């Protein structure tokens, strides 16, 4: 099949060394492959700059410069207004737990935090635990018919005591993109702040925290072509108000260091530069000659076009089967769905089907994907939960076709699978 992708897929795939192992990676929502350029940045730091920042000597100054370069790269990646608005951490889960700790002095018993049933547990658990301190937790339900978060269902939950609304930009099960700017405007008019988990969004679309007008925005680098690390954006004035999580002499004005106890992992933070370098190159290949930020936006436009083709290829196959239940939108209307697609087959155990793919060297996943409350809410926890194929732009139409052919063989009984009881 001729390559009609807007991306140079030969170049793209050459930048991910892990793709050379003969596996088709359809578990990218669990963790994408890492860029060669990100690995090179890690190695460069460890070989050339591997000392503690804060010293007067040359190598320590170089380490500090590398960390600032990492924050600057992340600033471009999310369109923050300044590098100091970037907080690094070990994972999205850890960053959100740290944020909840750092907000405690701002919260009083009776204050309210709203979470959604559609979120990954990372953006529910830290706020749920604040109930021990007298915080009232409310749950914004998902409309079971449309599988959307409706503002009409949020409005009655909000009151003058609502301090924070926590929501996902994109569900790692449903795959549909939530209208974050619309939600942020709604929340801000009512005097509250918004915290967004963007783990399932950031690998697929350009992030623009200023256009979204979000207060806190968090995602994982290891699902966005980097190492096992994460970053959080926060509006600078709001970061100033947070409690310090570091030593007592790290005052409230020491942003973002006060939120990175023990300091960030320098080499993993530095890998962010490699991610931005790659996206900048993709933007240039797409014809963009402007700023780093403009090249990132152009790169994601090309990424989106490639991923839309992948989504439709798989969704069309799944729609063609009368024994398949697609979880979420069965069409990618207006490109409002990322290529993270969960589904089930009538009477079949998701775990058995998933494991049968191992011998095909196709990596995917089954279960609830740490969005257990959503899986329970939708009644999708039996028979091993759901199957999930999660693709990114380096995946190909040929890989989708190989997967569906393998699935046909497995479902037809050639693999000897027993139906779930």
- pLDDT 10s digits, 367-396: 999 999 999 999 999 999 999 999 999 999
Per-residue confidence (pLDDT) for residue 6, from 0 to 100: 85
CA–CA gap between residue 75 and residue 293 (Å, rounded): 9
SS3 137: strand
Tokens describing residue 36? 């060669």
Per-residue confidence (pLDDT) for residue 4, from 0 to 100: 64
- CATH number assigned to the domain covering 9-34+307-409: 3.90.1150.10
> Residue 109 pLDDT > 50, yes or no?
yes
> Residue 1 pLDDT > 90, yes or no?
no
> Residue 100 pLDDT > 70, yes or no?
yes
- Bridge-based pairing state of the strands 216-220 and 193-197: parallel
Per-residue confidence (pLDDT) for residue 414, from 0 to 100: 58
Q: How far is CA 120 from CA 115, 167, 187, 349, in A?
A: 10, 9, 20, 23
> Residue 190 pLDDT > 80, yes or no?
yes
Residues 6+ apart with CB under 8 A from 168: 116, 118, 119, 120, 123, 178, 196, 197, 198, 200, 201
Per-residue confidence (pLDDT) for residue 417, from 0 to 100: 45
Dihedral sign computed on CA atoms, order 37, 43, 47, 50:
positive
Per this entry, what is the length of the chain? Answer: 421
Q: How far is CA 24 from CA 6, 34, 120, 399, in A?
A: 21, 15, 25, 7
> How does DSSP assign 72-116, residue by residue?
HHHHHHHT-SSGGGEEEES-HHHHHHHHHHHTGGG--TT-EEEEE
> Residue 239 pLDDT > 80, yes or no?
yes
Question: For the packed helices 36-48 and 266-285, what is the interaxial angle rounded to 10 degrees?
Answer: 140
> Residue 421 pLDDT > 80, yes or no?
no
CA–CA gap between residue 197 and residue 103 (Å, rounded): 17
**Are 148 and 142 in contact, with CB atoms under 8 Å apart?**
yes
What is the mean predicted confidence (pLDDT) over 167-171? 97
Phi, psi of 165, rounded to the nearest 5 degrees: -115, 125
Per-residue confidence (pLDDT) for residue 2, from 0 to 100: 46
> Residue 133 pLDDT > 50, yes or no?
yes
The CATH number fitting domain 38-276, selected from 3.40.50.300, 3.40.640.10, 3.40.50.720, 3.90.1580.10: 3.40.640.10
Q: What is the tens place of the pLDDT at every residue in 40-93?
A: 999 999 999 999 999 999 999 999 999 999 999 999 999 999 999 999 999 999
pLDDT class of 221 with cuts at 50, 70, 90? very high
Phi, psi of 148, rounded to the nearest 5 degrees: -125, 160
CA–CA gap between residue 237 and residue 258 (Å, rounded): 14
* Span between the terminal Cα atoms of the chain, in Å: 41
Per-residue confidence (pLDDT) for residue 24, from 0 to 100: 97
Residues 6+ apart with CB under 8 A from 286: 6, 298, 299, 301, 302
Q: Which helix (H) or strand (E) holds 197?
A: strand 193-197
What mean pLDDT, rounded, does the chain reach? 95
> Residue 418 pLDDT > 70, yes or no?
no
Q: What is the tens place of the pLDDT at every residue in 144-155?
A: 999 999 999 999
Q: What is the tens place of the pLDDT at every residue in 309-332?
A: 999 999 999 999 999 999 999 999
CA–CA gap between residue 54 and residue 39 (Å, rounded): 25
Per-residue confidence (pLDDT) for residue 320, from 0 to 100: 96
In SS3 terms, 284-351 reads as: HHCCCCCCHHHHHHHHHHHHHHHHHHHHHHHHHHHHHCCCEEEECCCCCHHHCECCEEEEEECCCCHH
Domain borders along the chain are 9-34+307-409, 38-276
Q: What is the tens place of the pLDDT at every residue in 13-33?
A: 999 999 999 999 999 999 999
CA–CA gap between residue 237 and residue 255 (Å, rounded): 10
* Cβ neighbourhood burial of 284 (10 Å; 0-12, 13-18, 19+): middle
Q: Give the residue from 370, 95, 46, 119 showing the smallest Cα distance to 229.
A: 95
């Amino acid at each position: 099949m001729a390559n009609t992708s807007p991306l140079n897929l030969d170049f793209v795939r050459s930048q991910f060394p892990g793709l050379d192992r003969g596996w088709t990676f359809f578990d990218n929502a669990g963790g994408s492959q890492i860029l060669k350029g990100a690995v090179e940045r890690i190695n460069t730091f460890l070989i050339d700059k591997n000392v503690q920042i804060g010293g007067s000597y040359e190598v320590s100054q170089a380490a500090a410069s590398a960390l600032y370069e990492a924050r600057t790269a992340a600033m471009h990646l999310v369109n923050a207004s300044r590098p100091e608005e970037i907080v690094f951490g070990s994972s999205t889960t850890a960053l959100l737990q740290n944020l909840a700790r750092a907000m405690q002095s701002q919260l009083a018993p009776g204050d309210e935090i709203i979470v959604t049933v559609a979120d990954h547990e990372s953006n529910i658990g830290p706020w749920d635990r604040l109930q021990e301190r007298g915080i009232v937790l409310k749950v914004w339900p998902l409309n079971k018919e449309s599988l959307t978060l409706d503002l009409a269902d949020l409005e009655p939950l909000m009151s003058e005591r609502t301090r924070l609304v926590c929501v996902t930009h994109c569900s790692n099960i449903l795959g549909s993109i939530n209208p974050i700017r619309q939600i942020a405007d709604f929340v801000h008019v009512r005097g509250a702040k918004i915290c967004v988990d963007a783990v399932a969004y950031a690998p697929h679309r350009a992030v623009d925290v200023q256009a979204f007008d979000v207060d806190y925005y968090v995602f994982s680098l290891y699902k966005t072509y980097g190492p096992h690390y994460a970053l959080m954006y926060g509006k600078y004035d709001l970061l100033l108000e947070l409690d310090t999580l570091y030593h007592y002499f790290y005052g409230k004005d020491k942003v973002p260091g006060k939120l990175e106890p023990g300091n960030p992992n320098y080499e993993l933070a530095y890998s962010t530069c490699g991610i931005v370098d790659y996206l900048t190159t993709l933007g240039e290949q797409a014809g963009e000659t402007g700023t780093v930020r403009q090249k990132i936006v152009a790169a994601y436009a090309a990424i989106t076009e490639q991923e839309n083709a992948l989504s439709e290829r798989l969704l069309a196959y799944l729609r063609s089967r009368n024994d398949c239940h697609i979880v979420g939108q069965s069409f990618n209307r207006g490109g409002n769905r990322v290529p993270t697609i969960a589904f089930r087959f009538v009477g079949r155990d998701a775990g058995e089907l998933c494991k049968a793919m191992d011998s095909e060297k196709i990596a995917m996943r089954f279960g609830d994907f740490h969005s257990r409350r959503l899986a329970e809410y939708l009644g999708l926890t039996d028979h091993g939960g759901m199957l999930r194929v999660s693709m990114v732009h380096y995946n190909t139409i040929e890989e989708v076709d190989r997967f569906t052919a393998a699935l046909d063989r497995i479902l037809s009984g050639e693999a000897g699978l027993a139906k779930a009881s």
